Chain A
Amino acid sequence: METFLLQFFIFLTAAAVSVPIAKKLGLGSVLGYLIAGIVIGPFGASLIHDIEEIMHFTEFGVVMMLFLVGLELKPSLLWKLKTPILGFGGSQVLLTSIAISLVAYFFLPWQQAVAVGLILSLSSTAIVLQTLQEKGKMKTEAGQSVFSVLLFQDLAVIPMLAVLPLLATLTIAGGGHHDSVLFDISVLPSYQQVIITVAAIATVLIFGKFACRPIFQIIAKTGVREIFVAAALALVIGTSLLMMTVGLSPALGAFLAGVVLADSEFRHELESDIEPFKGLLLGIFFISIGASLNFSLIGNNISLILGLTAGLIAIKWLILVLVGTVFKISAKERPLFAIALAQGGEFAFVLFQVAKSSGVLSVELIEPLISAVAISMFLAPVMFVLHEKLTQNSSTESHDKQEDTINKGDHKVIIAGFGRLGTDIGRFLLSAGIKPVILDHNAGNVSVLRKLGFEVYYGDATRLDLLESAGASHAELLIITISDTNTAKQLVELTQKHYPQLKVVINANNRRASFEFMDLNLTEIYRETFGTALNMGQAAMKQLGIDPYEAHRLKQIFQKKDGEMMPELYKQRSEEESYISLYQKHHEHLEELMKLDNYDCITALDKAWTAKNPEL
């Protein structure tokens, strides 16, 4: 127990120290973990052992990652991007695999050459997407193309995981990798094996499609958060177990489960529940990769490894330029596209691991290759910086042009709370082509609204992780229509702390709630019944025979005056707060309000459109 805790402690501390430093240096978290691994590994401080075992266990992070990838991939999005994904992604993976395999074929048997080609054709999703997002390049032509390629690569991992064991030429050292805990279907006749395999996949699809939502709805209604997390984990682990039992890749199962659930309202909730586990497991996985880097080997073969790195980057870059040219990416965007993807990826570590354990590649072969991939990943952020420096001068023009064409659909808006008020705001925004992400914690509400075609997600908006997966870090605006003032304040404080860029538009129950929001420096505060009160007042005046335009003006003048009065009342309130009782205060304010309103509007109305003699 103590040894386990100590190991765990060392891993966590190393991550906690190195990741912030790496991020600060612009290297990204993956490199941070790798560096941490090197530091605590046998070639650094030598603090950890049993690396192999840890790596094996934390590989499960990859399964979770693919579950999350699946969750992100709504079938509709997939369909929309099918051309760039298949075109760019397909040709990049195919051509790069072929080129690298051909080169490798000079030195290796063909099975191993193919395995190496497949594994090295992948790029680093984690590093590239993060860097593009940080640099605000996601929406550019190159950014979109890069995204398509990465998406294809993420999908290609699944067949690769399935194909790799078939390329095995070596005897498996440890063995027993695929031993099933439940029962061994290989004892059954082969037609039954096929039936069972198909049935397992169908189970995942049908269960995900029809059984998951009602189950999650029931769990959500209990309001016990841990149970939801437990159910989410059970779903991922259960799917993996089922897949392993029938001899399929657990990653494939998790991915399928993710895709099936991508359209459900629990998507963000599931994402934020699985995300920390995935992050932690993958983090430790990357650390163990770092720790397993054999520096004496690198030192002895320094020229070989550097040569491999340079060759890897060069081949990938050349193919990307070729793909970019064939698919007519504009000349200006092509260099970024090519440079962004010219490195090995984190999936290579996973796949090398699989290749090793299933006897495809030998340790002697893998070690220099893993080193080369790692070095190319270290270089990726550096290449971004270089590219930026080189194109800085010429790119200013195109920037101006892009600003003009900001699409309403590009605006990122989150609506927290989707009751009656939120519904109307949501409908209004949708009518203008702005698609908000909607968060609500009433599971009943959520499923009804989803039937009406809204993008609504179940969850408590005051949870930081849920906000994160709803995209708060790159959203522009948060609309808060939560009726409970304290919950709303909690949410405001949370966003101000973590997402200072997020503009806030908020509703207030009453004047006092407005003041409390003003305490938090909010300016866009709307009392929820005020607008209706004024509209009804206007309608009433019209019914009384007052000229409609006059009634309209009176309403507008009143609204303006009320807005102007707020800071005044706000000031008074903070002065009086200490000694006037709440009851008294309410009435004082009412009196004050009525005093200020009397006749002011009529005077303002009278002054308009009158000359010396108002008869015109």
Chain B
Amino acid sequence: MKKILINFAHPAKSHSNINKALRKAVETLEGVTVNDLYANYPDFMIDIQREQALCEAHDIIIFQHPFYWYSTPAIMKEWLDLVLEHGWAYGSEGKALENKLFFQVITTGGDASTYQKDGYNQFTINELTSPYQATAKLCNMTWLPPFTVSGVHRGLEQEKVQSQSEDYRRTIIALRDSLFNIEQAKQQPFLNSDINRMIRTP
């Protein structure tokens, strides 16, 4: 069984519907640790040692957050800046994160169709998340495409929220139990593009 760390970054949880639901779907699972960054560090004083120890204790590192301005909430940038130290995360001595799985769980306001070259947002999600792909590579982690829930601005019906949450839950369980086809998932635009095909039955 793999251990999964979900670094959760949302500055206004009381406003959020989908992120709350997604979190609720996974936080009680065995082997899963949810680390609420804004709740733990309201003043942004990130405890670097604690965060590094958490990373070391888990095999899969996930960042779950709303997709603000084509990027992450501020604290996640702060986390990357502070926690990924030279000699720990990268550099010739930095092997702490080697071969761990890394991916984002993002919620976007616009529809998936707007994230195209000729779409409203002009770039694909893959292009926009390339900094994190590069980060993962520098730290010798295995990068996976983001688990993406889009079209939140239109408001999601309750059923859709539920089915996305369920997909998330199934994905996490499959990753935990090594039943997720990682090599194939790397080729997909999103981790949840076609989860039924990615998840093997035991």
Interface residues of A (CB under 8 A from B): 547-553, 605-606, 608-616
In the complex, the 3 A-B pairs of residues with the closest C-beta atoms, listed nearest first: A552-B42, A549-B38, A615-B17
CB proximity to A under 8 Å, residues B116-166: 152-156
A539 CB → nearest B CB, Å: 11
Give complex CA distance A412, B73 in Å.
40
Q: Quick check: A547 and B14 within 8 Å, CB to CB? A: yes
Query: Separation in Å of the B70 CB from the closest CB of chain A?
Result: 13
Q: Which B residues touch A552, using CB under 8 A?
A: 42-43
CA A610 to CA B155, docked complex, whole Å: 13
Knowing A615-B152, A616-B152, the reply to whether A608 touches B109 (Cβ < 8 A) is no
Q: Are B42 and A549 in contact (CB under 8 A)?
A: yes
Per-residue contact bits, chain B 30-73, to A (CB 8 Å; 1 contact, 0 not): 00000000111011000000000000000000000011100001
Interface centre among A548, A605, A611, A616 (most CB of B within 10 A): A616
Given contacts A609-B11, A615-B18, contact A548 B153 (CB under 8 A): no
Contact among A547, A550, A551, A611 for B153, CB-based, below 8 A:
A611
- B13 is an interface residue with CB less than 8 A from chain A: yes
Among A547, A549, A608, the one with the most B-chain Cβ atoms within 10 Å of its Cβ is A549
Complex contact B38–A613 (CB within 8 A): no
Cα–Cα distance between A612 and B152 once the two chains are bound (Å): 10
| Contact A616 B42, CB 8 Å, known A609-B11, A611-B153 | no
Instruction: With A550-B14, A608-B11, A608-B12 as known contacts, state yes or no: A613 contacts B153, CB within 8 Å.
Output: yes
Q: B39, A616: Cβ atoms under 8 Å?
A: no
How many whole Å from A551's CB to the nearest CB in chain B?
Answer: 7
A615 near B43 with CB under 8 A, answer no
* Chain B contacts with A in 68-103, Cβ cutoff 8 A: 68, 73
B17, closest chain A residue (CB)? A615
CB pair B18 A616 closer than 8 Å = yes
Cβ-defined contact, B153 with A612, below 8 A: yes
**With the chains together, A552 CA to B41 CA distance in Å?**
10
B13 contacts A615, C-beta separation under 8 Å: no
Please give the distance in Å from B61's CB to the nearest CB on chain A.
Answer: 21
Residues of B with C-beta under 8 A to A615: 15-18, 152-153, 155-156
Contact partner, A609, options B15, B18, B42, B107, Cβ 8 Å: B15
Known pairs A548-B38, A549-B38, A551-B42; A612 contacts B12 (CB<8 A): no
In angstroms, how far is the closest chain A Cβ from the Cβ of B19?
A: 7
Min CB distance, B53 to chain A, in Å? 21
Chain B residue nearest in CB terms to A611: B109
Instruction: Compute how far the CA of A547 lies from the CA of B38 in the bound complex, rounded to whole angstroms.
Output: 9
Flag if A616 contacts B15 (CB, 8 Å): yes
Cβ B152 vs Cβ A613 within 8 A: yes
B: number of interface residues (CB 8 Å): 26
Question: In whole angstroms, how far apart are the Cα atoms of A609 and B75 in the complex?
Answer: 13
B13–A547 touching, CB < 8 Å: yes
Question: Would B39 and A549 count as touching, CB distance under 8 A?
Answer: yes
Q: Known: A549-B42, A551-B42. Is A616-B107 also a contact (CB below 8 A)? A: yes
Chain A residues within an 8 Å CB radius of B12: 550, 605, 608-610, 614
Q: Can you pick out 23 interface pairs between chain A and chain B where the beta carbons lie within 8 Å of each other?
A: A547-B13, A547-B14, A548-B40, A549-B39, A550-B13, A551-B42, A552-B42, A552-B43, A608-B11, A609-B15, A609-B73, A610-B12, A610-B15, A613-B154, A613-B155, A614-B12, A615-B15, A615-B18, A615-B155, A616-B67, A616-B68, A616-B108, A616-B152
The reply to whether A548 and B16 form a contact with Cβ atoms under 8 Å apart is no
CA A609 to CA B43, docked complex, whole Å: 17
Q: Please tell me if the beta carbons of B11 and A549 are within 8 angstroms of each other in the complex.
A: yes
> Which B169-198 residues sit within 8 Å CB-CB of chain A?
none
Closest chain-A Cβ to B7's Cβ sits at a distance in Å of 14
Question: Nearest chain-B residue to A610 (Cβ)?
Answer: B15
**Chain B contacts for A612, CB-based, 8 A:** 109, 153
Interface centre among B12, B13, B108 (most CB of A within 10 A): B12
- Chain A residues with Cβ below 8 Å from B38 are 547-549
Residues on B with C-beta less than 8 A from A605 are: 12
In whole angstroms, how far apart are the Cα atoms of A612 and B155 in the complex?
A: 10
State A548–B41 Cα separation when bound (angstroms). Answer: 8
**In the complex, what distance in Å separates the CA atom of A549 from the CA atom of B12?**
8
A551 to B14, alpha carbons, bound, how many Å?
12
Q: In the assembled complex, how far is the CB of residue B114 from the closest CB belonging to chain A, in whole angstroms? A: 14
Complex Cα distance, B78 from A448, in Å, reads: 42
Nearest CB in chain B to that of A613: its residue: B153
Beyond A548-B38, A549-B42, is A616–B13 a contact (Cβ under 8 Å)?
A: no
Closest to A616 in B: B66
Q: How far is the CA of A548 from the CA of B19 in the complex (A)?
A: 17
Give min CB distance, A443 to chain B, whole Å: 39
Residues on the B chain within 8 Å of A547, using CB: 13-14, 38-39
Closest to A550 in B: B14
User: How far does the alpha carbon of A552 sit from the alpha carbon of B44 in the complex, in Å?
Assistant: 10
User: Nearest chain A CB to B151's CB is how many angstroms away?
Assistant: 11
In the assembled complex, the Cα of A553 lies from the Cα of B19 at a distance in Å of 20
Query: Which B-chain residue is minimally distant from A609 (CB atoms)?
Result: B12
**How near does chain B come to A206, taking the closest CB pair, in angstroms?**
51
Complex: how many Å from CA A306 to CA B176?
96
Q: A613-B154, A615-B152, A616-B152 known; 10 other A-B pairs, CB under 8 Å?
A: A547-B14, A605-B12, A609-B15, A609-B73, A615-B15, A615-B18, A616-B16, A616-B67, A616-B107, A616-B108
Q: A547-B39, A549-B42 are in contact. Are A614 and B15 (CB under 8 A)?
A: yes
What is the distance, in angstroms, from A541's C-beta to the closest C-beta of chain B? 11
CB distance from B27 to the nearest CB of A (A): 15
With CB as the reference atom, state the residue of chain A lying closest to B39. A548
> Which residues of the partner chain B approach A610 to less than 8 Å between Cβ atoms?
12, 15
Query: With the chains together, A606 CA to B11 CA distance in Å?
Result: 11
What's the least CB distance linking B85 to chain A, in Å?
Answer: 23
Interchain CA distance A40-B172 in the complex, whole Å:
98
Chain B nearest CB, measured from A341 CB (Å): 50
Residues in B with CB closer than 8 Å to A553 are 42
Alpha-carbon gap, A549 to B13, bound state (A): 9
Residues of A within 8 A of B155 (CB): 613, 615
A394 CB to closest chain B CB (Å) equals 41
**Residues of A contacting B73 in the complex (Cβ-Cβ under 8 angstroms):** 609
- A314 to B155 CA separation, bound complex (whole angstroms): 90
- Cα A611 to Cα B68 in complex, Å, equals 10
Do B11 and A616 touch across chains, with their CB atoms under 8 A apart? no
Chain A residues near B16 (CB, 8 Å)? 614-616
Chain B nearest Cβ from A186, distance in angstroms: 73
Contacts of A614 in B (CB 8 A): 12, 15-16
CA distance A616 to B40 in the complex (A): 21
> Within the complex, what minimum Cβ distance (angstroms) separates A599 from chain B?
15
Complex-state Cα separation, A608 to B67, whole angstroms: 15
Give the docked Cα–Cα distance between A549 and B42 (Å).
4
Q: Please indicate the chain B residues that have their CB under 8 angstroms from the CB of A551 in the complex.
A: 42
Task: Report chain A residues within 8 Å CB of B152.
Answer: 613, 615-616
Contacts of B13 in A (CB 8 A): 547, 550
